[in-house]
Structure 1
């Protein structure tokens, strides 16, 4: 690993497992100081980030611990299959709260710190469903479309302060969140493995490596768009 993030100070949410854990580990391996958060697990800050003041407290604690903040990677997210009929309001709202509203609140609270740094990085986690959609994923797809739009607006607003904002759009990734679906529907795993020209599901590390690049000085002129990390699956959509 390089040390291209030496001296950088990062907050990563959803960091107890899956993509978030891989991102936190990769940023740290590249030299960053990383403050982790999740609803449970071995992290620096344990909280449900959908709480109205949770992200305010998170940013304050991260800043107090590290003495600054210049990278924000909100990885916390939820998704399960729900047909449109029987898709109740409470579930839809919960997905939006976790996947979108908490991301917005974290970035809003961190913005002043990122602007002060002058070379801040925001990397959100969208999905291929940020561009397309899929059956049984109304709430998830809506939330991830919104995350991509939010990221573009953030890039426009914070760009004059030297802050970049990009959205990584994973395809089918083998994580604790997706494992139940793949286990219950082996044909779903087979479909996505076959759909990707690289002939496999993604790993959390595949996403983490791209996030680390986007957080680095190498990506200093990359901002305001989504980047598919899907093994080429969407070329066959």
Structure 2
């Protein structure tokens, strides 16, 4: 790859599979040192990101292992279809804890290190549902709307310290997390394949490549944005 991330030191959560694994691989291929975290799998740090104190421990471990920290990509996330009436309090809280609260905690606990670096990079993972909604996704859409809003405010606050904060908004991506839905509802897969002008589902690498760009100096003047990476699907929402 390009080596354009040479010298960068990054945390990637959710790195055991899917988008997180692709992001970790791409950042490393571009020259970054990457400290990976997930609940399971072959990662550097096993942790449940929703546990209080987990993000602070993760940042401490990453800084110790890499000698510093300047890039954070929280990819851990969950999604499931459920009608509104089926959203229990526990389910709603779980989705927000993983998709939103854990992102907030990691960014908060890493912020001082990124400010000290002077050229920090944060890339959050939103969704097309950060802007729109869809049936069966009330909790998920609420969490992803919030991630985009958090991204914008964090960009405003951290920008004076040289830190950029952006949100990648994937469309329908073929990952282990989405596979059950596509297998159980093949019409749902066909819908998204036809909706995208590029006529296919996204792959984790499609998202990872954009994130690598946002982590690089090529994106040094971009901050506070949500970027759809959806094969053009939302041009005709």
Q: Which residue of 1 aligns with 2:147?
A: 147
Structure 2: give runs of 5+ residues left out of the alignment. Answer: none
> What is the CA RMSD across the aligned residues, in angstroms?
0.3
CA shift, 1:128, in A, is 0.2
Q: Which residue of 1 aligns with 2:69?
A: 69
CA shift, 1:195, in A, is 0.1
Q: Which residue of 1 aligns with 2:24?
A: 24
- The SS at the match of 1:110 is helix
In 2, the alpha carbon distance for the partners of 1:129 and 1:45 equals 30
Q: Which residue of 2 aligns with 1:89?
A: 89
For residues 3-62 of structure 1, give each alpha carbon's deviation from its aligned partner in whole angstroms, at most 9, with x where no partner exists.
Answer: 000010000000000000000000000000000000111100101010000000000000
- The SS at the match of 2:223 is coil
Under a length normalisation based on structure 2, what TM-score does the superposition of the two structures give? Answer: 1.00
Residue pairs, 1:108-127, within 5 angstroms: 108-127=108-127
In 2, the alpha carbon distance for the partners of 1:37 and 1:72 equals 11
2:7 paired with 1:3 = no
In 1, the alpha carbon distance for the partners of 2:68 and 2:47 equals 21
In 1, the alpha carbon distance for the partners of 2:86 and 2:137 equals 13
CA shift, 1:140, in A, is 0.3
CA shift, 1:225, in A, is 1.0
CA shift, 1:87, in A, is 1.1
CA shift, 1:80, in A, is 0.4
Under a length normalisation based on structure 1, what TM-score does the superposition of the two structures give? Answer: 1.00
In 2, the alpha carbon distance for the partners of 1:86 and 1:63 equals 41
Q: Which residue of 1 aligns with 2:57?
A: 57
- The SS at the match of 1:177 is coil
Q: Which residue of 2 aligns with 1:169?
A: 169
Q: Which residue of 2 aligns with 1:182?
A: 182
In 2, the alpha carbon distance for the partners of 1:137 and 1:39 equals 24
In 1, the alpha carbon distance for the partners of 2:16 and 2:169 equals 20
In 1, the alpha carbon distance for the partners of 2:17 and 2:184 equals 20
Q: After the TM superposition, which segments of 4 or more aligned residues of structure 1 sit over 6 Å from their partners?
A: none
For residues 143-187 of structure 1, give each alpha carbon's deviation from its aligned partner in whole angstroms, at most 9, with x where no partner exists.
Answer: 000000000000000000000000000000000000000000000
2:192 paired with 1:196 = no
**Corresponding residue pairs, total:** 237
2:212 paired with 1:216 = no
Structure 1: give runs of 5+ residues left out of the alignment. Answer: none
2:90 paired with 1:102 = no
For residues 120-160 of structure 1, give each alpha carbon's deviation from its aligned partner in whole angstroms, at most 9, with x where no partner exists.
Answer: 00000000000000100000000000000000000000000
Q: Which residue of 2 aligns with 1:44?
A: 44
